[in-house]
A = this chain, B = another copy of it.
Amino acid sequence: MFNLMVEHDLNGVFHALADPTRRAILDRLAEGEATVGALSRPFPLSLAAVSKHLGVLERAGLVTREARGRERVCRLDPAALADARAWLEFHERFWTDRLAALEALVGTARDESR
């Protein structure tokens, strides 16, 4: 049933989102494109570390890096985020419905046993 869904690279997307530094980078990027150096400045991390984080975000499809001269400008790509959100939304509905149905069954069973 779920095999029909794309399951784009949920592992990668969720893994990318599981790190607060990376979420902060994404938030910063929502304000507009930025170079790797500019992105790294606010963090108490080496430039290389931030570059690695950007690699994770890029592989997850959340961010694109484009060479512009000697700097790389990073931009948010909301599509992958939308994928993850859609997955969560779908499953949340699915699970809630299932659980509601089960509760209803329990209610019925309790009624019948009276």
Interface residues, chain A, with chain B CB atoms under 8 Å away:
2, 10-11, 14-15, 17-20, 23, 26-27, 29-32, 76, 78, 81-82, 84-85, 88-89, 91-92, 94-96, 98-99, 102
Contact = CB atoms under 8 A, between A and B. Distances in A.
Contact of A98 (B32, B91, B92): B32
Shortest 4 CB-CB distances between A and B: which pairs? A14-B18, A15-B18, A85-B88, A30-B95
A96 B10 CA distance: 20
Contacts of A89: 85, 89
Chain A contact residues, majority secondary structure: helix
A99 B15 contact: no
One complex includes copies of this chain to the number of 2
Given A11-B20, A14-B18, A32-B98, A91 B2 contact: no
Given A78-B96, A98-B32, A102-B32, A91 B14 contact: no
